């Protein structure tokens, strides 16, 4: 795995030779996730033969003042539900609990919802088993799954999340009569670095795929390499789901690959389908 845009050196890849065990052999694939989250995707792609270029486009930064979160979590029997919409939120919340005389198990006094399996697994590593994980990993599905458990009218929900996030979840719950407190606990900021080397490779056609796993990575990628390179159409954009796809298209990125299952595993599977025999990516490039 190549780390960081400063390590990128333009080159022309040889014609890839692939077989069933390494369907991504010869493909140069950029992973744009935050550095601490890139490993799972990078390892999965490398195992399938890809050359991975790890170019973090965002950093996850916990907010300095988490007084509102502390007040919400230390209050007695205030909330009926707590909803986690990312692994980042899980880590920020659970890592702060000991400072406030709490433990992760104290979250069990509320019903716990997780937006998807990765978020659920993050909670389980802290000893918290979610009550709800929806079949589709988007905010609208969380609302539907919670409502399926019973009426939410008058119920109180705590939603710790990123400073900038879609309002589909709180709006959906409020529309059904729930009382929702949204508390920002972290923000995503552009990762430091010079994107000129990556931009040159994108424009030169030596990058096959750029993977995008959130709207913030889309924005960070465009900021890093510039609009001309990002919208050049000289590479294939692969996104983790419909929300990320919408953000990419809004900024002019042509999306050719979209995961059916909105997870890292789903994104990898979509890449394999695309570059496999009969896929749009022409298995024998």
User: How large is the average pLDDT for residues 61-80?
Assistant: 90
pLDDT at 204: 96
Of the candidates 221, 217, 219, 259, the residue with the CA atom closest to the CA atom of residue 240: 259
pLDDT, position 6: 41
Mean pLDDT value of segment 205-221: 95
* 37 pLDDT higher than 80: yes
Give the CA distances from residue 279 to residues 99, 212, 253, 275, in Å, rounded to whole numbers and listed in that order. 51, 20, 20, 5
Cα 98 to Cα 74, 76, 79, 174, distances in angstroms = 12, 17, 20, 31
Q: Strands 179-190, 58-62: parallel, antiparallel or unpaired by DSSP?
A: antiparallel
pTM: 0.77
Decide: 240 and 215 in contact? Cβ < 8 Å.
no
Q: Quick one: pLDDT at residue 13?
A: 46
If you count them, how many residues does the chain have? 285
* CA atoms of 199 and 183, how far apart (whole Å): 36
Domains of the chain by start residue, with CATH: 2-57+191-275 (3.40.50.10090), 61-187 (3.40.50.10090)
pLDDT over 90, % of the chain: 74
Q: What confidence score (pLDDT) does residue 76 get?
A: 62
**CB-based contacts of 191, cutoff 8 Å, min separation 6:** 34, 35, 56, 57, 58, 59, 220, 224
- Give the phi and the psi of residue 19 in degrees, each rounded to 5: -145, 180
pLDDT tens column, 236-274:
999 999 999 999 999 999 899 999 988 899 999 999 999
Of 72, 65, 83, 102, nearest to 185 by C-alpha is 65
Contact indicator for 168, 135 with CB cutoff of 8 Å: no
Q: Quote the percentage of the chain above a pLDDT of 70.
A: 89
Structure confidence at residue 7 (pLDDT)? 45
The three-class DSSP label of residue 29 is strand
| CB neighbourhood size of 154 (10 A) | 9
- Tell me what the mean pLDDT of segment 42-70 comes to: 94
CA-to-CA dists, residue 241 to 96, 248, 256, angstroms: 30, 11, 12
pLDDT at 5 over 60: no
The Cα 282–Cα 285 span in angstroms is 6
Question: pLDDT digits over 123-134, tens only?
Answer: 999 999 999 999
Task: Please say whether the beta carbons of 32 and 55 come within 8 A.
Answer: yes
Mean pLDDT of the chain: 89
pLDDT score, position 279:
57
């Amino acid at each position: 795995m190549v780390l960081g845009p400063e390590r990128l050196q333009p080159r022309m890849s040889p014609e890839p030779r692939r077989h069933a065990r390494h369907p991504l052999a010869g493909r140069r694939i950029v992973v744009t996730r935050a550095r601490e989250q890139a490993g799972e995707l990078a390892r999965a792609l490398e195992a399938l033969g890809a050359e991975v270029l790890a170019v973090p486009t965002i950093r996850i930064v916990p907010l300095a003042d988490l007084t509102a979160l502390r007040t919400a979590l230390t209050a007695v029997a205030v909330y009926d539900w707590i909803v986690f919409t990312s692994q980042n939120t899980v880590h920020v919340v659970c890592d702060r609990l000991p400072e406030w005389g709490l433990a992760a198990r104290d979250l069990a006094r509320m019903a716990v919802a997780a937006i998807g399996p990765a978020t659920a697994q993050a909670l389980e590593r802290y000893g918290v088993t979610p009550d709800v994980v929806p079949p589709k990993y988007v905010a609208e599905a969380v609302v539907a799954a919670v409502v399926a458990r019973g009426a939410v009218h008058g119920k109180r929900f705590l939603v710790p999340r990123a400073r900038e996030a879609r309002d589909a979840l709180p709006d959906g719950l409020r529309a059904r009569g729930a009382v929702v407190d949204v508390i920002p606990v972290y923000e995503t900021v552009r990762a430091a670095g010079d994107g000129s080397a990556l931009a040159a490779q994108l424009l030169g056609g030596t990058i096959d795929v750029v993977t995008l796993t959130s709207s913030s990575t889309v924005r960070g990628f465009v900021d890093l390499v510039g609009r001309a390179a990002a919208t050049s159409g000289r590479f294939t954009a692969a996104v983790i789901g419909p929300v990320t796809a919408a953000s990419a298209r809004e900024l002019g990125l042509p999306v050719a690959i979209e995961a059916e299952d909105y997870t890292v595993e789903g994104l990898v599977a979509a890449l394999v389908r695309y570059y496999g025999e009969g896929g749009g990516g022409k298995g024998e490039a």
